[in-house]
Structure formats: structure tokens, C-alpha cells
Amino acid sequence: MMIFGWVMQVSWAQSDPSGKRRVTSSFAITNATVIKSPGDIGSKATVLFKDGIITGIGAGLSIPKDAKVISGDSLFVYPAFIDGGSNIGISEPMDDESTKDFNSSNPPDELAGITPWRMATDFYSSASNEVDEWRKVGFAMSQVIPEGGMLPGKTALVSLGDPKNIAIIQANVAMAANFRGSRGMYPGTVAGVMAKFRDVYQNSILALEHEKLFASVAGVKRPQTTPTQLAMAPVVQKQLPILFTANSELEARRAISLQKELGFKLILTGLENYESVIDLIKSSGTSVMIKLQVPDDKAIKSQKEEGVTEATKAQYARVKEAYDQSLKQAANLEKAGVSFGFSTLDTKASNVHKALSTMIANGLSEKAALAALTTNPASVLGISRIAGTLEKGKLANLILTTEPLFKESSQIKHVIVDGYVFDYEVKKKSNSAPNSSATPENSENSVEGVWDYVSETPAGSSGGEITIKKENGVLGGSISYDDPAGSGKASAPIKNVTVTGKNLKFEFDVSAGGMSFTVTVSGEVNGKSMEGTLSLPQMGSFPFNATLSSPSQLN
Amino acid sequence: MKKLFYLLLAFFGLGCNFSQAQVQKGSVLIKNATVLTVTKGNLESADVLVQNGIITQIGKNITAPTGVQAIDATGKYLMPGIIDAHSHVALDVVNEASAPITSEVRMKDVVNPFEIGIYRALAGGVTVSHAMHGSANVVGGQNATLKHRWGAKDPADIIMQDAPRTIKFALGENPTRVHGRGNGIQPRSRMGVEAVIRNGFNEALQYKKAWETYAAAKNTKGNTLTPPAYNERLQTLADILDGKIIIHCHSYRADEIYMLINVAKDFNIKKLVFQHTNEGFKVAPEIAEYTMGASVFADWWAYKMEVYYSTAFNAAILQRNGAITSINSDSAELIRHLYHEAAKTQRYGGLTDDEALAMITINPAKQLGIEDKVGSIEVGKQADLVIFDSHPLSSYAVPQMTFVDGIKYFDVVADKDDQRQLVSATEMVEPIFLRANEEAHRCMQDVEIFLDAFDVAFLKEKH
Amino acid sequence: MNRILVLFCMTWIALLPSVGMAQIDGEFVKPRTGKFLLKNATVVTVTKGTLSNASVLLENGKIIGVGASLPSEGAEIIDCSGLFIYPGMIDGGTRLGLVEVSSVPETVDYSDVGNVTPNMQALTTVNPNSEAIGVTRVSGVTTVLTVPSGGLFPGTAALINLNGYTPDQMYGGFKAVAMTFPSSGRRGRFDRRSEEDIKEDGEKALKEANEIWDNAKSYLELKKSGAELSYFPEMEQLSKVLSGELPLLIEVNAASDILSAIQWVEGKNIKVIFTGVAEGWRVAEQIAKAKIPVVTGPVQDLPTRQSDRYDTPYANAGKLAKAGVKVALRTDEEENVRNLPFHAAFAAAYGLGKEEAWKAVTINPAEIFGVADQYGSVEVGKKANLIVSTGDPFETRSQILHVFIDGYRIPLSNRHIRLYQEFLERSPGLKAN
């Protein structure tokens, strides 16, 4: 809490009249609880990173001089999330105009949604609001899928980082595919799409054969490989997987049956209903990205208890059963031993936390949930070497939360992408005590008890407990705070406690690095809450909020 | 014994492919029923023993082997599972209406085992249905023959894997309306329909030849021939010419039926069944002589111009002229009472009980190429069976139990009312579909986009 | 040769006068009236029990005798030994005669432009020579209600007998204004409206219906007070419903709509008949309590909801009847009204019972339509609408041997039958040229 001494650095040769350029690319998160990988129980450590790469994790690491320190006191550090399939920041391609001799039964590939040569990178904008929305909830990377028809183009892995940076991590990750027909032309339905898919695939193989023969034998007619066949070459050579968007069980089966027939590498994404295909996913070894979403509970909540017939009750029960089963799917996937990632396709960022906590409440282990957000997609996307866990040498993609990640009240305070720190507002906790019985008449008495506090400082939020009690007619007590030395909480007695009307004021001494400060806290008390400031000599004042969590029962 | 059987199956690889391994087979003894075998007459108070999905014994006083449940069917009628040679139940897509020939499209790709229509068909005694592509195209997609194993989640488990390939053709108003009038491409007339078919078959012959030439040259030294383009559309047509696929052709008028018979003769195609065939009665001798017969409606007529000159006596005339004749539903509603539809051949033409019953059992089985497996109650056949409370050709008959492969999938007494397999987790109120009969007729589903607004307004989803 | 063909041939030979005109071969058999004694049959009167070895005497379009020994003077005697006589069946809701080929708009006349067109008269557009009429009546259905459909008040339905050369000759003495009650159901698979939209649309439509109703009320009140009102045919027709001159046929199907319709009707003091009533079984008690008669069907139909038991449409009529609702059946068909007896059989098998099912296609619709003095049973004084069959006409194996409508003996022929006669043994058969 005490650490505000950011290091002044010699300026770069270039000026920045906006004054916004960051002064260092080196950071140290100190004294945070660090969870390096799924299943890790977490331990207090310092995380160092520079130029977007983690340079060290561990207790007792010395903080480089150029490092800006982020106080991790009371915070939890996790690897940032990886989105297995999304359309974050992706814009739609321009509509193609019909050609003159357009024939709906045999349209050009481009009109029929067959554009495998397209690349998501051409349609991605890191300045999109969506990038910030998803980063805010913890995502640092996403596999972005181009918009379009049955073969819209190649996906890309992007970093959801600072828009000034190059976002593309890898341009051609997978070939996207959909069971989506083209309106008013061939293929128009999922039946047509499957047939056309086979056609495209087989002819791409033949085109390669043709090219091979042409390259080795004289007298062979010139190959006329189409852009589609050219783009599909790495797919049929099994170098590039197909990323099939499949919402339902039947779509998943269709994709897997095409895979079995043709032999390409397959990743399924966007799975929403998949209970009955879990075994098939497992036995076929298909990689899956399930939709990071739980069904809307509006229907469940609108079910009435009274005034409904037995028949209606039976119907309700079926909907409830379907709802419950839907929530358990992820857990069942884990139980079956399938490693899965998440896809954010057609989901809302604001629902992520709820989706995760609901899945966990319905049996998904926290370990598997974290794996689905980190190591599993990293593995499927082939980036385990650089991402998915917190390790020295990996990308500095991490998130800092106020509480353990999957706790209901946990909030994300920082997301670090490529070593860039993004700060997010943390709402104060409103854990008002039950049976509020504050007596505002006696303001002096009303401050007695144990307070929880949070203080917002440039290095992040910090908090602890304040105990105020009257001893021999004088108010006194103690305060706990994040030890600046980096070893959990420290505590100090409070002094000069005064209550004037609604105002509470006190001081306490803190020593750090051989120095000693006196910290002054003052604020207005309303019932059980206090809002005010925390002041440090020569450093300024910072917001301070506290709640009387257990009022003293002495009076 | 059972174990040995499986071992043998595995050892010889007999039909033990991936998808069949999932299929459940049952054993049951049905006692004291009036057994309507269809092919071998009627047996009073007879027993039928089913073991492991196969009928193993028919006779009197059969005792149930250990572990086999016996069902008393005294006073009841047992008939073979009903076979519907024309249905669109359990399909997510009916028409890939975007091209006049779409022979590469497979209905097996879009089978939906969750559709409630399967259970409703079972409740009408139907155990096998022919899930067909629609009639928007001259040559539509390849169909799927389904076994109604309700409760299966894998589409492969309701596909009758040992049934031969079939394909949908369509003549007359529908393809000319969708492509010619709707989209400005051939065919716009019945002349065009013939031309499209002949063009397709001739191209298929060229395609086949191109691949044969390539295959022969491929491994010769210094070969400069490159592989022809792959074209499953033409390959499928070539397969038809090679006798590997049965054509099921949507047709109404006598002239167009006669046309296709001539085309079939020219291309030496033997496996041809006509569907609907409302004017089949006019060319019944030709149908009987050259084709695998006709699958017709009991009494549908007048819903469009090409069925205005129909007669409900069609099935009887075809039957009396020696054509293999079946009665089909083409409707999620009619499929529930095909026994009754078949019975109408007694009102309209006075067919015998066996003739009428054959029209929904062994005859459609023949037309689907599965008559060696289903369609009658005979030892060695698959145990698809229905128990009725009275004679199935009575208008008052109520199906009681339906078995597929010896497994009971419908029981009028024991089944719960709500049979949905998939329920939406977010549905507040279940949708109510009125005029449900219009829903039932799906032959022209998925084609709206290809028609002009006027046509759509009058597209009553009938054929 | 089968039985039915033999019978045709016999009829033909008996009636064939020698004709020698060039270019015309054979003779057309017309319906003919006279005095007929149908002798020694089992007579199922529907209202007065079943009589064995009884005869029915017809003259001047009426039944003038039912009993064991009836005078035969001057009557053409038809031996009905071993046969059954039933009243002609009445289909309570069809589009028969209003459409010839449903996909050809030029032949579709059951719906006109506009939401409020009660003045559109089904009887005007009935085509007495529709092929479908000849096809229908040989099945034993002798009388049908033919109903316009489409908008909120699509037109005025008419009861017709299936014989006659002009609509007036066919008219059965009952008309009613049709109403399509605002629906909360989906119109079909393509109806993808949200639940809220459906509800909103329904409320809007009901509000509009109320406004129109109020308008008609004002029209009637002003007219009664002797005001000279400007020409307004829609209100003129609708006001006849308000005054009780014409009943209102309310097409309503979803359970919740049925309840709203009951509420809507309450206090209006009009004659009401519900039609369709597909989900009537869900609210049978309430319908019974409201004492509103029902014309339901088709019986052979799909359940309205996925979760419904497969046989709910079959069982609907039975459940309504059990609750005390007066039930008539309809096919809601155009070309296949001939299936009415089979719809009735399904209703019978799934809970209605044979006797009630017979009533539902004879005396019940006659009573609901207020024409029971003329139709619906084999009784002296009633219109001579009856059929003679080899057995239960609900069974497909039974053959209808004679049909009398309005005292006319109907030739058992139509295009379907003529095609059968021509093509059963085609000549030339199988040979080129």
C-alpha cells in the first residue's frame, strides 16, 4: 500500500507532447498471490515482466530499477484468458456484386460464401470497442474468425492489447467453416453445404496432384488451380485445421462425420448444446471450444408456483430439466476427460463471469475452468510455448483480481496484455452487515467495532481491517495493511482518533525501507460506511472507503 | 449364446460397421395374436418369437426362452411394421432447391433423430420411412431410409444402414416452377425436364469415361494425363446408370411418367419407382412392365393442376395391372395412419386385405430394396412389428405397440404423453402451431426463396 | 370384377335408352327424383334407434314413411336386403364448391380482399358443377357447410346439399357469418414472431374486432330507430348477427383464445358456434359451461404442440362431448370432404364412441345449424337425404350403394369413377402403336 515511489527514468530520445507515452516497459507486481497455472493453489510472489515477456516469478525477487511497481498486496494474479473462437473486432466483408452471367445454380465461389483465401487479419480492427470489452473481462488473446459463408476464410490469433501495437500473433491458425448456406443460390442449405464441402475438398486434393505432375513431367497441361483450391491446400495437406462452428449436437456430428470421411484436422467451436456428443468428441479426439455462455434463466424464473395446472407444471419441469442439464454440460465434459476451451462467439462479455460461476456451481472444477480459459486453448492453438501459464519467458499476459478468480465477488482490477497494463475500476464491496443497528445519535459510539477498508492508490487497491474501540474513555485501536515489505499483512496501532460530528479522523505510522511515515485517514461516516481520503506526506491523498463490518456490541 | 453371436459377428465383420454397433436389438415373444404375415397368409392365435432383433419362430405354443419377455396379444392383430416409401419426417432440410440437379446432396447428412414426428409415426405403426429430398429439382438429393429407433441421439442410429441407395427425381410443376419460372433457368417445361435428365446422364457418361481413361493412364510411364475434376453430382448419376441407386421419381401426369420410362429404357436403367404417380393409372401397363412400380396417395387430388385429373382408384388400377404399388404419406400427419390410407383401396377398388396391407409393407419394402429384410412376418426377417387392437384395415383400429428390431418403441398404454427429446431451456411458452396440417406437407420446404412472391402465397406446402 | 363395378354396370344397363346420335356414344345418368321404396334394410335412424328389416319410403324430396311394412304403390322398389340405411352425413365446415384447384388462384374463391367482408356470400360462389361435389356425395356426405375464410369477418357461410344445378337449388336453409377470432397460435412453421409480438398482435386484433363490433352495434341501433343510413353492406350483414338473425361462426383453436372468445361472447346475446376448437380438450369444461356448440375438426390432424400426446386431435371430439359440449365434426377440406366418415371413425375410436360419432355428423350439426326439422336423421317428414350401404359407412371396406339427396337418386358416378372404368383395363394395353 505504501509503494508509490515510481522510478523516474531518463527520457527517451523522442518526446511525446501528449504526455501519455508510458515511461517504462518494465514492471513488477509485488507481493501478490500468484496462480501460475490451472490447479496451482497460489503463493505469494513477485512477478516481473519487461517488454511484454515475463522475466521472473518468485518470492524475494529483487525489483529491477526500471520497474514500475504494481502493488499486488491482496491481489491475485492469473494467466490471462485465451478465447478459442470469436469475432471480436471483425468486420463483415463488403457484399459482392452479382456478376452479369450469374447463375444461382452455379454461382462463383465468392458469392456462395466460399472464400477460404480470405484472412481474418484483413477484417480485424484492434481499435474496436469489442477488444476493450473482452480484455476487461480477462481475455488477452483470441482466435478471430472471419465473417462469411460456409468457408469464410482463415482465422488469426490476435492479442487484445494496446491498439497501437500490432495485434496479430499468428495470421493463419485455422480454416473457418460454417454450416451456413447462401441465400438464393447453391449451396443454399446445410445439405448443400456438406455436399459442396466434399466437392471443394476433393478438388483441392486433385489440384495438388495436378500441380505435382505438372512440376515433374513435361507435356502436362497447365494447372488452373482456383483461389479456393490454393487456399485449401494446407487444409487437405493436414497442416491447417478446420475450425467448424457447430452450435448443436447435430452440427457437431455433421462436422465430425465430414472429418471422418475426409481426414482433415478438426476443431469445433461455438458448441452450445453438446450433452449427447460428449462421448463422440472424446472418442474422435476432436478439439472443442464450447460457448462461454449459460442459457437465459428468464424462462425458469417466470415459472409460477400457483394457479397453474398439472399439465403446465409438467411442462415447467421439462424446461427446468433442460435448463439444469444445460448448465451441467461443461462439468460433464470435464468428467469425460475432454480438455476444452471456450469460444465467445455470439456471447456477451458482461455475462462471462456469470457463465463461469454458473458452470462451476454446476460441477465444473475451478481447475478445469481455468484450463479452459488458458492452457487448453493454448494447446489447441499451438501456443503453449508462449502462453497459457505464468512462466518466465512467456508472454506477459495476466490478470489481477481482487479475490480468487471464480469467487462471486471477485473483480478484475488489471489486465496485462503484452506487458501493457490496463486498469479497471473496481467497485467497492457493499457487504453491509446484517441487522443494521447503527445509532447515529451517538456518533462516537457508532464508530466502534471492526471496519473493512479499501484504499485506491495509483498502484492499485489495497485494504485491511481497522479496529476501533474505546479504552478508558479514549478511542484507539489498530489497523492492518498490506506490508510494503511484501510479506502479507502488517498492523499498527491507530492514534489521535477523533470524531467530530460525522467526521472520523485517525493516524498511524508505517515503516518501510528504513523510513517511517505518518498516514492520516479522515472521512465522513454515514451509518456503517465511511468515505474519505488517505493522505501520505508529500505524496498526496487517495480515496479511502470503509465499512463497519462488525459493530461493537459493548454498548 | 448371445455372446457367441456377437463374437461371430465381430469375427466375420458381418455388418458390424461403426454406426450399427450402436443399434439396440431386442428379444420378445408375442403370443396368441392374429398374425397378418402379409406374404404367407393369416395365422389365428399364433405366436411370434423375436430373438436379438430377428424373427426366429412363428407358430403355436412357443415358449419364451429364459429372459425373453412374453406379451399376450389375445384378440389382437399383429402385422409387419408399416413402411412409408415417401416421407420427410426427421429431416432438417428437405430441398436444396438451388440447382436443377443436386444428386450430390445426401439426406443422410441432415437426418434429425429428435423430431417428434418419428414417435408420432411409430404411434401409427410405421417402423421404416423413406426420408426423401423434396421435389424442387429434376434430380434432387439422395434419400435416407430410416428405421424409427426413437430415442436415438445419433442420426446414424436411425438410418437403415443396410438399405440400398435411393435418389429423388421430380417432374412437372415443381421443378419447372422453381427453376424455370422462379429462376429463369431450364427447365421451364416438361420438355425441359426431360432435357435436364438426358443432359445429366450423358454428362455422367462422359465423366465416368474421363475417370476411366485417367485411371488407366495414371500409372503408365510418362503419363501426362491429369485427374479430371471431382464431381459427386455426375458420379452419383453415373452410379444410377450402373444400377447402384434406385430412382424414386416425384411425378403426376401420365405423359411425364411415360417420358421417364423412355429415358430409363434409353439409358438401360432398371431401378425406377414412381412417387405420387397420380396419373399412373393411365400408363399402368407400362409402369408394371418397365419399373419397380408406383408409390401413391390413397386419395389426394385437385390441390394443383397436375393432380386435377386423378382418381382415388389409382392404386387399385395399378395393382390390377400388375404394378408394384404402395401407399405413402409424404406428410407428417398421414404417416400416422397409413393403415387407414391403405384401407381406402378397399373403398376405391375393392382390394383384398392382403393386397391392401401389402401396399404399406412388402410393396414399399420392394421399392426401397429392403424386401429381404422387412415388410412381412417371416422367419429371418428383422422384427419390425405392430400390434393393433382390431384389424388394421378397420377405421376404428388403434395401434397398441410398435417394435423395431424387437425393441418396443411405442406402447399406447405405458408411454408418457410428452415425448419430446429436446426441450428448450429458455422457452417460456411452448409454441402452438395451428393449421398443423399445412406443416405436414413438406415436399416443397426450403424453396420459398426461389419463387416469386405470388407463387409463395399460393405455395400451400403440398406437393 | 369387383362388386362395385358390377353395380355400376347394372345401373347403367337398366337405365340405358337406345341413343343413336352421331359423335355421342353412351348415355349420361342424371340424378332423378320420384317415389322410392327402400325395402328391408337395417335402418339406422340416429335419433330413433336402429330398425331391422325396415323400409323407408321417399316422395317429393321427403321421407314419408319409415317402418316394417310400407305401401309400395307407385314407388320404384329398391331391394335393400342385407343393406343399411343411414341419414346423409353433414360436414360442419368445408370450402366445398368454393375452390376447384387450390394452387390455381383463378379457381380459388373462398377469400376476398379486406379484413371485414361479412357481406361476401359463399352461396354466391358455390360451383354446383365442381368436380369435388360429385366426388364427395358418393361417399355418403350429402350436406355441407361451406365457409369463406381469410380476414376477421371473411364472409357468410351457407349450408348446401350436394345436388342441384343452381346454388338456390342446393341451399340448405342455414347461413352464418364467419369470424376468425384473433389467434395467439403460430400460423405455421414460417411464423417466427416472438411471443411478445404474437401477444401484441392478438390484442391489437381483438381491439380492432371490438371497434368493428361497436360500429355494427351503432349501425343496428340507428337502423332500429329508423335512421336513414348510407349504404354500408359490411355493417348491414354484421348487424344481422347482433340482432340474432344470423349466428356467428367463431373460428378459434388455441386454448387461451377459446377462453378469450368465451369471454368476448359473454353478454353479447348472439347465437354463437365455435369452429375448429383444436385445443378444445384443454378447456372443455369452460366451453360446456358457456353452452356454446362446437364444430371441430379435422380429426385426422397433428397435435398443436410438440409436447402433446400424439392422439390429442383424434381424442378432442370425445373429450368435448364427455364434458357436455354439443359436438359436430368437420373436415375443413375442399376436395377431400369425402373423408368425413373416416374422421368420424377416428373420433369414435379415440373416445367419442360410434353412436356419438354418428350424431356428430348428422343430427348434431343439424341441431347446431337449426335445421334439425329437416336434416340429421331418418324420420318421417325430414328431407330425403340418406344413404344405403353394405355396412358401416365409416369403414373403408363398406360400399355406398345408393345416395339420395333432396329425394333425388344420385348416380354413383364422378370423374374418379369414370377414370376407373376407363383405365382398369386399358385398351390398347401394353404395346407400341
The burial class, CB within 10 Å (0-12 / 13-18 / 19+), for A348 is middle
Does the pLDDT of residue C433 top 80, yes or no?
no
Determine whether the interchain pair B426/A187 forms a contact, defined as Cβ–Cβ distance below 8 Å: no
Q: Which residues of A touch B426 (CB under 8 A)?
A: 295-296, 298-299, 323
- pLDDT for the residue numbered A53: 97
- pLDDT for the residue numbered A513: 57
Determine whether the interchain pair A217/B223 forms a contact, defined as Cβ–Cβ distance below 8 Å: yes
Fold classification of A13-80+374-427 is Urease, subunit C; domain 1 (2.30.40)
Q: What is the pTM of this model?
A: 0.87
Judged by a CB distance cut-off of 8 A, whether residue C433 touches chain A is: no
- CA neighbor of A57 nearest in space, from A388, A384, A395, A391: A391
pLDDT tens digit sequence for A145-166: 999 999 999 999 999 998 888 9
Judged by a CB distance cut-off of 8 A, whether residue A314 touches chain B is: yes
Interface size between A and C, measured as CB pairs under 8 A: 3
Determine whether the interchain pair C399/B448 forms a contact, defined as Cβ–Cβ distance below 8 Å: no
Does the pLDDT of residue C140 top 70, yes or no?
yes
Chains touching chain A through at least 3 C-beta pairs below 8 angstroms are B, C
Judged by a CB distance cut-off of 8 A, whether residue B462 touches chain C is: yes
SS3 A33: strand
Which B positions 230-289 lie with beta carbon below 8 A of chain C? 281-282, 284-286, 288-289
Instruction: Specify whether the CB–CB gap between B117 and B90 falls below 8 A.
Output: yes
CB-nearest to A323 from B107, B231, B425 is: B425
Instruction: Specify whether the CB–CB gap between B263 and B247 falls below 8 A.
Output: no
The residue behind cell 345401373 is: C11
pLDDT tens digit sequence for C351-379: 999 999 999 999 999 999 999 999 999 99
Q: How far apart are CA C123 and CA C101, in angstroms?
A: 18
Determine whether the interchain pair B224/A299 forms a contact, defined as Cβ–Cβ distance below 8 Å: no
| CATH 2.40.128.120 placement within chain A | 445-551
pLDDT interval class at C4 (50, 70, 90)? low
pLDDT tens digit sequence for A186-224: 999 999 999 999 999 999 999 999 999 999 999 999 999
For an interface test with A, which of B105, B181, B218 has the most A Cβ atoms less than 10 Å from its Cβ? Answer: B105
Interface size between A and B, measured as CB pairs under 8 A: 141
Q: Which residues of A touch C282 (CB under 8 A)?
A: 311
Sign of CA dihedral A276, A282, A283, A288: positive
CB-nearest to A189 from B223, B430, B446 is: B446
Chain A: residue nearest B226 by CA? A210
Judged by a CB distance cut-off of 8 A, whether residue B418 touches chain A is: yes
pLDDT tens digit sequence for C85-96: 999 999 999 999
Expressed in percent and rounded to 5, the helix, strand and coil fractions of chain C are 35, 25, 45
Q: Which residues of C touch B341 (CB under 8 A)?
A: none
| CATH 2.30.40.10 placement within chain A | 13-80+374-427
Q: Which residues of A touch B423 (CB under 8 A)?
A: 318-319, 321-322
Stretch A127-132: mean pLDDT? 93
Judged by a CB distance cut-off of 8 A, whether residue B185 touches chain A is: yes
pLDDT tens digit sequence for B98-114: 999 999 999 999 999 99
Determine whether the interchain pair C419/B303 forms a contact, defined as Cβ–Cβ distance below 8 Å: no
Determine whether the interchain pair B302/C302 forms a contact, defined as Cβ–Cβ distance below 8 Å: no
Determine whether the interchain pair A195/B449 forms a contact, defined as Cβ–Cβ distance below 8 Å: no
pLDDT interval class at A437 (50, 70, 90)? very low
Chain B: residue nearest A322 by CA? B425
pLDDT interval class at C200 (50, 70, 90)? confident
pLDDT interval class at A11 (50, 70, 90)? very low
Determine whether the interchain pair B230/A203 forms a contact, defined as Cβ–Cβ distance below 8 Å: yes
Q: Name the residue with higher pLDDT: C238 or C17.
A: C238
pLDDT tens digit sequence for C18-74: 545 667 877 889 999 999 999 999 999 999 999 999 999 999 999 999 999 899 999
Q: Which residues of C touch A318 (CB under 8 A)?
A: 307
pLDDT interval class at A225 (50, 70, 90)? very high
**Percent of chain B beyond pLDDT 90?**
85
For an interface test with B, which of A221, A228, A250, A329 has the most B Cβ atoms less than 10 Å from its Cβ? Answer: A250
Q: Which residues of B touch C302 (CB under 8 A)?
A: 120, 332-333, 336, 433, 436-437, 439-440
Determine whether the interchain pair C398/B393 forms a contact, defined as Cβ–Cβ distance below 8 Å: no
Neighbouring residues of B126: CB distance < 8 A, sequence distance ≥ 6? B81, B82, B83, B84, B148, B335, B336, B338, B402
Q: How far apart are CA C62 and CA C60, in angstroms?
A: 5
Judged by a CB distance cut-off of 8 A, whether residue B96 touches chain A is: yes
Sign of CA dihedral B24, B25, B30, B36: positive
- pLDDT for the residue numbered A464: 84
CB-nearest to A250 from B155, B228, B230 is: B155
- pLDDT for the residue numbered A440: 42
pLDDT interval class at A539 (50, 70, 90)? low
Judged by a CB distance cut-off of 8 A, whether residue A219 touches chain B is: yes
Identify the top-confidence range among A518-532, C149-163, C194-208: C149-163
Q: Which residues of B touch C354 (CB under 8 A)?
A: 396
pLDDT interval class at A5 (50, 70, 90)? very low
Does the pLDDT of residue B150 top 70, yes or no?
yes
Chain A: residue nearest B229 by CA? A203
Which B positions 396-415 lie with beta carbon below 8 A of chain C? 396-398
Q: Which residues of B touch C308 (CB under 8 A)?
A: 417-418
Judged by a CB distance cut-off of 8 A, whether residue C190 touches chain B is: yes
Determine whether the interchain pair A206/B229 forms a contact, defined as Cβ–Cβ distance below 8 Å: yes
Q: How far apart are CA B241 and CA A282, in angstroms?
A: 41
Instruction: Specify whether the CB–CB gap between A297 and A361 falls below 8 A.
Output: no
Instruction: Specify whether the CB–CB gap between C249 and B430 falls below 8 A.
Output: no
pLDDT interval class at A496 (50, 70, 90)? confident
Whether residue B65 is preceded by a cis peptide bond, meaning omega within 30 degrees of 0, is no
- pLDDT for the residue numbered C3: 58
Instruction: Kindly compute the dihedral angle of the four CA atoms of residues A492, A495, A501, A503, in this order, to the nearest 10 degrees.
Output: -50
Shortest distance, CA C307 to any CA of chain A (angstroms):
8
Chain A: residue nearest C283 by CA? A309
For an interface test with A, which of C307, C309, C312, C319 has the most A Cβ atoms less than 10 Å from its Cβ? Answer: C307
A310-335 vs A352-361: helix axis angle to the nearest 10?
Answer: 90
Long-range contacts of range B265-270, CB-CB < 8 Å, 24 or more positions apart? B265/B290, B266/B198, B267/B201, B267/B241, B268/B241, B269/B240, B269/B241, B269/B243, B270/B243
C-alpha atoms less than 13 angstroms from C-alpha of C88 in its C-beta half-sphere? 35
For an interface test with B, which of C419, C421, C427, C431 has the most B Cβ atoms less than 10 Å from its Cβ? Answer: C419
- pLDDT for the residue numbered B264: 98
DSSP assignments along A135-191, one per residue: HHTTEEEEEE---SSSB-EE-EEEE---TTS--EEES-S-EEE-S-PPTTSSS-SHH
Stretch A69-88: mean pLDDT? 95
Determine whether the interchain pair B106/A195 forms a contact, defined as Cβ–Cβ distance below 8 Å: yes
Q: Which residues of A touch B154 (CB under 8 A)?
A: 253, 276, 280
Does the pLDDT of residue C135 top 70, yes or no?
yes
**Percent of chain C beyond pLDDT 70?**
93
Q: Which residues of C touch B289 (CB under 8 A)?
A: 430
Stretch A351-371: mean pLDDT? 96
Judged by a CB distance cut-off of 8 A, whether residue C194 touches chain A is: no
- pLDDT for the residue numbered A406: 93
Chains touching chain C through at least 3 C-beta pairs below 8 angstroms are A, B
Q: How far apart are CA A126 and CA A148, in angstroms?
A: 20
Instruction: Kindly compute the dihedral angle of the four CA atoms of residues C343, C346, C350, C352, in this order, to the nearest 10 degrees.
Output: 50
Q: How far apart are CA C412 and CA A440, in angstroms?
A: 100
Q: Which residues of A touch B428 (CB under 8 A)?
A: 298-299, 302
Stretch A475-491: mean pLDDT? 75
Determine whether the interchain pair B396/C396 forms a contact, defined as Cβ–Cβ distance below 8 Å: no
Q: Which residues of C touch A315 (CB under 8 A)?
A: 307
CATH number of A445-551: 2.40.128.120
Determine whether the interchain pair B347/C397 forms a contact, defined as Cβ–Cβ distance below 8 Å: yes
- pLDDT for the residue numbered A443: 44
